[in-house]
Structure 1
């Protein structure tokens, strides 16, 4: 009886560890998506150039008269449809990405609008720096949760898998297209857009290994 009890005790920690891992993954996903929406608002409010996909969303928002949050959701859904021929499969994190970021962009923009206007250039530059850093952290958090890629990330990885091209080439091609389209529609392109393009890769490269959650098979 003593031997059986000891054997049973040894088997208990595994479900506990999985439960803790699942809680961490959920917390990382949620926190990362909230921070991602906040980073979008900071860069947009700085008026020095938005992130590539947000340039497109801004242009579409101005063309349609819809809010940035609403357009962000619609763009995400259209991108998900583009997953179909690429045979990509969404996860919980994919759906959460669409819902959480789309729902929070407008409230965060409203909070940013409470800042005194006009902001001096130095303050706007600080918003860009903080926004990019926050976005790098947010990306590493939600990707590291390993609960499914965001719509735009899945489009990139799907194209990489189908074409055999490098991640760098595919990402650059996608971002050039969306920035050009967004700029033509009235989206904001500037030094913030360039700074984001140069900084986000190295930031995520450093942070992602530290924030990726080990998942037991």
Structure 2
């Protein structure tokens, strides 16, 4: 591949997919810590038990639903948004079905695995967000709701997490001490990972699907002339 632009695009896609794989590994580490799940994973586990599907399939299905809401609310989505929706769920199922990550049976080992998993999630977040192809569906929904309700980000994010947690618990998802541990430490862990890689998300500009489609349209029109 001689075109530098094509090489760069390929690099971004490969890095993004690796990021999804790392992110999913972190999620499974927290699930297999066996001391309680993150709010959205409580919801995904509850859905999986209720519908008889895997946690990864529940994640994909909910991600698709949220992407549709993002589009309805007028939020721009990137290829990374769609990749997040699909690949993270597929990787979660791959790790869990093949029993790649151990399930812990003691609290302290479980707590250590959960904390390690949160750091791994931070690394995965850095890898896929830093390519600038769009964030996850839930982040897009959060932004859309902030714009529409004029409520603070913390209130909206907390409400989303709270609804996911309570609904998932009612559906049979595992809530425990680990749930509180994750809620309190996931922010600092992700921030630590970003700081480690000297990544400032505030300076990142995302490339969205509609921009790519417009560029493709211009290229086709130019070639026809």
TM-score band (shorter)?
Answer: 0.7 to 0.9
TM-score by length of 2: 0.79
Offset, 1:113:
6.5
Structure 2: how far apart are the matches of 1:151 and 1:192?
A: 24
Residue of 121, 136, 142 corresponding to 1:150: 136
2:80 matches 1:93: yes
Residue of 193, 204, 212 corresponding to 2:190: 204
Gaps of 5+ in 1: 1-14
Gaps of 5+ in 2: 208-225
Q: 1:131 to 1:166 in 2, by over 3 A?
A: same
Offset, 1:175:
0.2
Structure 1: how far apart are the matches of 2:45 and 2:26?
A: 15
Matches within 5 A, 1:35-46: 35-46=22-33
Q: Is the 8 A contact 1:41 1:108 kept in 2?
A: yes
Structure 2: how far apart are the matches of 1:114 and 1:20?
A: 33
Structure 2: how far apart are the matches of 1:197 and 1:185?
A: 20
Matches within 5 A, 1:74-89: 74-89=61-76
Paired position in structure 2 for 1:62: 49
TM-score by length of 1: 0.81
Offset, 1:205:
3.2
User: Secondary structure at 1:83's aligned position in 2?
Assistant: helix
Q: Is the 8 A contact 1:45 1:113 kept in 2?
A: no
Offset, 1:76:
0.7
Structure 2: how far apart are the matches of 1:170 and 1:105?
A: 27
Q: CA RMSD in A?
A: 2.6
User: Secondary structure at 2:76's aligned position in 1?
Assistant: coil
Aligned length: 201
Q: Deviations over 1:87-145 (max 9, x none)?
A: 11221001111121111111111344674x76333222221111111112212222222
Paired position in structure 2 for 1:11: none
Structure 2: how far apart are the matches of 1:106 and 1:180?
A: 23
Paired position in structure 1 for 2:158: 172
Structure 1: how far apart are the matches of 2:175 and 2:125?
A: 21
Q: Is the 8 A contact 1:144 1:208 kept in 2?
A: no
Offset, 1:62:
0.6
Farther off after superposition, 103-112 or 73-82: 103-112
2:58 matches 1:71: yes
Farther off after superposition, 139-148 or 63-72: 139-148
Q: Is the 8 A contact 1:160 1:166 kept in 2?
A: yes
